[in-house]
Structures are given as C-alpha cells and as structure tokens.
Chain A
C-alpha cells in the first residue's frame, strides 16, 4: 500500500490560522496578492504537485521552505544532453540545484520511479544526482524536463561526481578514536575510584588494554596530525598542528615510559584519547564547512551562463583564431513534455517555445556555437536568445525592429525598440520573443561591458586573530615545557620528565581546536538558513569593518517580476480572453507581458497553439485566433507604474495595473541595520522620483537616496568608506568590485554573480542584518574563546610547572574546558 500523507496545505485552505501563509512554501502571503500564494512560482509548483498526485510532498516538507520567486528565471537548457555519452550509456551524474529538504528528495525519487528508473542516488549534502537506467526504457530528457517544471535545475557534472571528500577519512578516524576514547575512559575510571595500582589481573588487563587501544588510536588518528605537522616544519611554518602533534607525541611516549616504569602519576592514556578525539572533531567540522562552501561554488560555476551563440560556417574559426568546437544544439527540451500534463507544461513554457521557430532552425544549420563572452570578436555573427544579454556593441541585422531592455545598464526597467540596422548596446537584454541576429561592432575586450565586469579578488589568508594566536601559542607551549624540564632536571630527572609531559598535555589546544571550527561552522549554517552563500574567504571578518551599506534598487530591493495591483482581474476574464491574453503575453519578454504570462501560467492556463502573435515593438502584441483579433497594449510610465490593456476587435476587455513589489521585510531590515549603527543609502541609476519614493517606503531620508547614478558614481560612493554593496545589474559591477563586501542575488546568472563575495536568495532582506549579527557573534565567540583558553592554560601551566598536576586533574579539566568553550560558542552563534 502506498503511503500518502495528508495535504494539510490544501485541506486548511479556508482556515483562518493559515490564511496568510503560502500554500506551497509556508511563507507569509503579501497583502497585495488576492490568492493564497506568495508568488507565481509557488502557485505553479503547487498546482503541478497536486496534479501529479504528489501531495505527499507537503506532509514531508518543513513548516517553511524558500519561496520560488525566481522560478520562471531559473529554467536551464538541456542542450548538453545532445551527444552526452552518459545519457546514451544509461549513466549520468548531475549537479542539482533546489533540493531543500526530504520532501524534495521524495518527489525526485517518485518521479523517477514512475518512469522506470533502475537506480537513483540523491546526495543532498553535495547537491548531486546519480542516475543509472536503461536508455531504451527510460526517457531521460522527459525526466529532467519534469524536474525543471518542479523547480529543480540540473547540469551535468563534468568529471563525474565530487568524490574527493577529505572529511570522509576524518570521519572514519573520528569514529574509531571516539570508540577507543570511551573504552579507555571506562578502563581508567576504576583507578580514579580507588582501584589499587598494586597488582592483580584486573589492574594489568585494564592498563594493558588501555595501552593497546591508545596505541591504535595514536597510529590511526594521530597520523593525520603528525603528517601535517611534519610538512609545516619542513616549510618553516608555525602551524596549529605542531603543538597538537607535539602534545600527542609527548603525552603518548611519556605514558609509555610511565607504563614501563610503573608510574601511575605520569600515565595520561585516557587524556591522550580525549585530546585526539576532540582535535579530530574540530578538524572534521572545519573540513565539512570547507566542502560545503566548495560545493556551492562548483554549483554556481555549473549554472553560470556568460556565453553567447555565435554563428559561423562549418569548420570555421572563432574571433581569436581558435578552431570551432563541435556544434551543440539547444532548446530541444521544449519539445519534451511530461506524460501527466502536456498542456500544463506547455503553459509554463510558452514564450520559451516560441524561441525555437523556423528562422532559428535555419540558423541552427549554420553551425551555432556557445562561446564565452570574452571570445567574441569584431564582425562575429551572433544569435541572441530572448532573455539573453548582448555582450558587445552590435548591429541588429534584418529589417524587423526588436525590443531590448537596458535595465542591466541603467538599473531601471527601460524597454526600447531598435529598428533593423540599429545599434544595440553591450549589456542590453533582448525582450522580444524572437531571437535576434546581430553583428558585433567591437570585440569583447573593447566593449563597455568588459570594463564594467569586476576583477577577481585574490585569495585571502586566515583571519589575523587566528594566525597571531597560533604563532604565539606554539612558542608559549614550547617555552613553558622546556622551562619546566630544565628547572626540574637538576633536582629529579624523573619528575622533570613528568612535568615536561604534563605541561604539553595541559596546553594541548583542545578548546581552540574545537571552538574555532565550531564557531565558523555555526556561522556558516546560520547564514545558509538565512539564504546567504559566502563565495569568497574572509567575508565575515571584512564585514566587521563595514560602516556603510549601499543598496541598489531594482532587483535588489524589489522582486524581478512586476506585480498585478488587482490579481482578481485575471480571474474575471472569460476563457477565450484568458487564452488570447496568454498567447499575446507569451509572445513577448516585455516586463509587463512577462508578469502577465507568469501569473496566467501559474494558474494553469494552457498556451494556445492555434493563434498567431505579432509583436509591435514599443506598442504591444497583436494576437489572432478563431475568436477574432486581440491586442495587448502595454506601457510603463516614468513614475514606475505600468499598465496593460486587452482589446478584442478594438473594444477594451480588461485593463491591468502593475507595480514594482518591494520586499516585504525591507523596511524592518533597514531599521535593524540602522539600529546596529550602520549608515544606509540607495544608489540607483533610476529616475529621482522613483528613487525618492523607494527611499520613503524604506524609511530613508532624502539625503540617503542617490538617483541617476552612473557606474562610476556608484563606485566613487562606495570607495569613500568601508562599505557593503548589494546590486544585481552590470551598472553595479564597478561598485561591487570596489566594496569591502559585495553581494548579488543568487538567481543572477552572469559573471557578475560569480565575482561577488556572497549571493543571497531573492525575496527577502532579513539576511542582511543577520549577516552583520553573525559576523559580530563570530568575532565575540573567537575572542571569548581565546581569552578563556589563555586564562585556563596559564593557570594549569602554573600548576604543572609546580609539579602539582595529575592525570586525574587532566582527565577532568580537559573535556570540561572543551565542553565549556563549545557551549559558549553555540550560545553566541545559535539562535
């Protein structure tokens, strides 16, 4: 019997307590929406899940997941499937983006099992999907198109899945050493409770077993530190592993000597194990954090789209003289549609499907190539896909006019119609539904776009605090231990060795070894929960120096899509008008058309196949079907308001008001940032009236709002003091590269996002004060731990040098101190 959990979201649709929460993601529904969803993306996926019989998803997901605000922007091409050897052989490894919880894994598995997949592995920790199947029986293209419909973006993993996981070896060492530690502690307990050291089988067996187990732990677990310490010494670097290895070696060899001598006062076997286990735990946490960051960077790299299609004769050469690679095909994924809902899928894909027409097929025959922007040269013939950026100044070929949006350059939505033969600026985004044929007027290096792209930051070392602590710590430990040895040697050589060992044991950096990696792991997790991914090292340390926060307006403080002021206007349309509106809106990438199209697609309106759409750049879209002539007129006025009117045979049928949607939590987040003592400001290329209105809604004063800024203006403002800059357009890139900390939305698929210090999930700004709170919490935790560790060590070193230190005291203080610093760190960084 199939387990089918209830669908609480649907069941409670009319419940008062859940009325304000999105049925799909559980986030609050903005007051401006008339339905029960926070965005069109959530509405679309909720409907698809219900229609596919996968309501069980809602029984497994957490109370709240990330909203699908960028759902319509994140569909990736499946062009790579063409000629993919793994797809033909029935073995594919993929990077998958969008897995949030067990419910996602459940849905991905369910969809695969329905189509008869042989074996599926979902590595949610690394965001990887392994598919093993019979190519004759399993339609891979359809399955991946289905995943895209449900909001998961996949790309092939070049070079196979990420298997070089250094934390796996550490995990094995940690597991083995933990087991040994627990046993040796148990074996030591009878002695601390009074078991005689004077003989007997039990005493000999307990001591003997402890020594054997500890030897195994030191060889297996300790070899990790010995090898790294040895490499540090060979390179003359004072690394943290040196005192760790030295302490381990001294404590173990001293205990071996004490065992041979029968001296229980210098037997530290249980302490050796506790120390080794804690050190491995700290190192394991550190490696997992690094691996997690690496996975995010690899994933971002896999989904980067800074390429353009260049047309050329078969066997030709690129602008830089390199031979043309094999021709990839793209766009065929639109032909695939799921079994359970072809109409629905078509409804979601309408405008994208229009991009593949006879004209494009003709172009495909002339060997199109996907090339990086940097390889475009003067005279290159390009085929620009709808929605893509033009990487260089170019001439629009052909006689038809097409519409481009300059938002990436100016920061405001600014659709302009360009006639055939006209010049298209570098960075302009094609918003007409047809592909544009262009001839490059300049190479990429001479393009204004190249000057705007940020330069790569150099890799930074560990924080100054950490480097300083390690160096001082190494010298302190060595000086204290040898001082004790030299002091006691003339009086009692045996006592001198015992003091030497006890100093090294007591100064073992247990607290620091665990607390620092733990603090960084918790900080990383806290930010990840807020929707932030750190892409560069040292971001949290640099955030501490930030005094000013600069925000771009469009795309950063507002959502990508315009929002209907009256969502009910669509619901009031009759079936014929709704289909016609779908056909007309789907034929254009104008911001007004896209907003209408997404809302209709999310409501399940099928894309009409029989009509004919004709875009009239600068005016609207004419649409003809069996019911007559329709016209969708659309406009955006300087105040930022937009409208659209649908006419049938010249008579108005409906009108739609649209507006930019400010992130719901933006004013509260801005207030929280101000309370933290940070300066705030808007830097926008938009018109003064719109920027002033946005500043008012955010709670900023007029002096903090800067309108009509050029990229250079923004860069100069950011350079005046240590600043954090958030932006999403190419006009922000200079400022981003000059900022102390820079951030871009995660959905921004360009070289811009690749270079930012951090990426954030769109739809919320609560992560921004959270970033500063986390940076400050981490700073407090690190300093607190350092002060505690120094105080603790100075006190116990004094005891050890006096000769008053005992294995029992060590067995108690070592784990206690580690637990104290770990608990303090957790308290500071966990909410």
Chain B
C-alpha cells in the first residue's frame, strides 16, 4: 500500500514538472514561433 502512495506522489511530481515546462514554453511564445522552431534541426552546424 505504501508503494502505491509513493507512486501517487511520483505521478503528481511528474505532472507538476510537465506543467512547469508547459508554462515556460507558453511564456517564451514558442507556439507563435512554431514554424521557426521546427526548422532548428535543419540549421547549419557552426
């Protein structure tokens, strides 16, 4: 039973991490520059 409770908290932690990354992405206006970001892998190697 204790393992289940531990798993619950791990899942909540992962969800919180995902939300944090999502907020970071939205604040950086990544969705507005989605096309530009999608081309990053094609950039010249410096």
Contact with B along A155-193 (1 / 0, CB 8 A): 000000000000010011001100110110011000000
A58: min CB distance to chain B, Å: 14
Docked pose: A109 CA to B26 CA in angstroms: 22
Enumerate chain A residues within 8 angstroms of B19, measured Cβ to Cβ: 175-176, 179
B2: min CB distance to chain A, Å: 8
Q: Which residue of the partner chain, among B4, B34, B42, contacts A106 with CB atoms under 8 Å?
A: B42
- Are A121 and B23 in contact (CB-based, < 8 A)? no
Contact with B along A130-158 (1 / 0, CB 8 A): 00000000000000000000000000000
The number of chain A residues touching the other chain, given as a range, is: 20 to 34
Binds B, one of A200-208, A382-390, A572-580: A200-208
The verdict on A182 contacting B8 (CB below 8 Å), with A124-B35, A171-B31 known, is no
The verdict on A183 contacting B36 (CB below 8 Å), with A168-B26, A176-B19 known, is no
- Are A124 and B26 in contact (CB-based, < 8 A)? no
Q: Which residue of the partner chain, among A2, A102, A180, contacts B38 with CB atoms under 8 Å?
A: A102
The verdict on A109 contacting B33 (CB below 8 Å), with A171-B26, A206-B8 known, is no
Enumerate chain A residues within 8 angstroms of B18, measured Cβ to Cβ: 179
Q: Which residue of the partner chain, among A121, A126, A168, A209, contacts B36 with CB atoms under 8 Å?
A: A121
- Are B5 and A123 in contact (CB-based, < 8 A)? no
Enumerate chain B residues within 8 angstroms of A106, measured Cβ to Cβ: 39, 42
- Are A109 and B1 in contact (CB-based, < 8 A)? no
Q: Which residue of the partner chain, among A3, A171, A201, contacts B42 with CB atoms under 8 Å?
A: A3
For chains A and B in complex, what number of residue pairs have CB atoms within 8 angstroms? 71
- Are A201 and B1 in contact (CB-based, < 8 A)? yes
Enumerate chain B residues within 8 angstroms of A418, measured Cβ to Cβ: none
Contact with A along B10-46 (1 / 0, CB 8 A): 0110010011001100100101111110110010110
Asked if A105 is an interface residue, CB under 8 A from chain B, the answer is: yes
Q: How many of B's residues come within 8 Å of A, CB to CB?
A: 25
- Are B8 and A105 in contact (CB-based, < 8 A)? no
Give the nearest-CB partner of B25 in chain A: A175
Enumerate chain B residues within 8 angstroms of A3, measured Cβ to Cβ: 42, 44
Docked pose: A209 CA to B4 CA in angstroms: 14
Q: Which residue of the partner chain, among B1, B15, B36, contacts A122 with CB atoms under 8 Å?
A: B36
**Which chain A residues (199-227) contact chain B, with CB distance < 8 Å?**
200-202, 205-206, 209
- Are A125 and B32 in contact (CB-based, < 8 A)? yes
Asked if A11 is an interface residue, CB under 8 A from chain B, the answer is: no
The verdict on A201 contacting B32 (CB below 8 Å), with A168-B26, A186-B11 known, is no
- Are A202 and B36 in contact (CB-based, < 8 A)? no
Asked if A1 is an interface residue, CB under 8 A from chain B, the answer is: yes
Docked pose: A206 CA to B15 CA in angstroms: 15
**Which chain A residues (63-107) contact chain B, with CB distance < 8 Å?**
101-102, 105-106
A137: min CB distance to chain B, Å: 18
Enumerate chain B residues within 8 angstroms of A109, measured Cβ to Cβ: 36, 39
A279: min CB distance to chain B, Å: 19
Q: Which residue of the partner chain, among A60, A102, A182, contacts B15 with CB atoms under 8 Å?
A: A182
Docked pose: A125 CA to B1 CA in angstroms: 49
Enumerate chain B residues within 8 angstroms of A171, measured Cβ to Cβ: 26, 31
Enumerate chain A residues within 8 angstroms of B45, measured Cβ to Cβ: 1
Docked pose: A180 CA to B12 CA in angstroms: 9
Enumerate chain A residues within 8 angstroms of B36, measured Cβ to Cβ: 105, 109, 121-122, 124
- Are B12 and A183 in contact (CB-based, < 8 A)? yes
Docked pose: A205 CA to B15 CA in angstroms: 17
- Are B15 and A179 in contact (CB-based, < 8 A)? yes
Contact with B along A108-131 (1 / 0, CB 8 A): 010000000000011111100000
Enumerate chain B residues within 8 angstroms of A179, measured Cβ to Cβ: 15, 18-19, 22
Give the nearest-CB partner of A101 in chain B: B35
Enumerate chain B residues within 8 angstroms of A201, measured Cβ to Cβ: 1-2, 5
Docked pose: A300 CA to B10 CA in angstroms: 51
B11: min CB distance to chain A, Å: 7
- Are B26 and A172 in contact (CB-based, < 8 A)? yes
Enumerate chain A residues within 8 angstroms of B1, measured Cβ to Cβ: 200-202
Q: Which residue of the partner chain, among A123, A182, A187, contacts B33 with CB atoms under 8 Å?
A: A123
Enumerate chain B residues within 8 angstroms of A183, measured Cβ to Cβ: 11-12, 15
Enumerate chain A residues within 8 angstroms of B38, measured Cβ to Cβ: 102
The 3 closest A-B pairs by CB, nearest first: A175-B22, A124-B35, A105-B35
Q: List 6 other contacts, CB 8 Å, given A105-B39, A125-B31, A201-B2.
A: A1-B45, A102-B38, A121-B33, A175-B22, A176-B19, A202-B4
What are 25 A-B contacts with C-beta separation under 8 Å? A2-B44, A102-B38, A102-B39, A106-B42, A109-B39, A122-B33, A122-B35, A124-B32, A124-B33, A124-B35, A125-B32, A125-B34, A126-B32, A172-B22, A172-B23, A175-B22, A175-B23, A176-B19, A176-B22, A179-B18, A187-B8, A201-B1, A202-B4, A202-B5, A209-B8
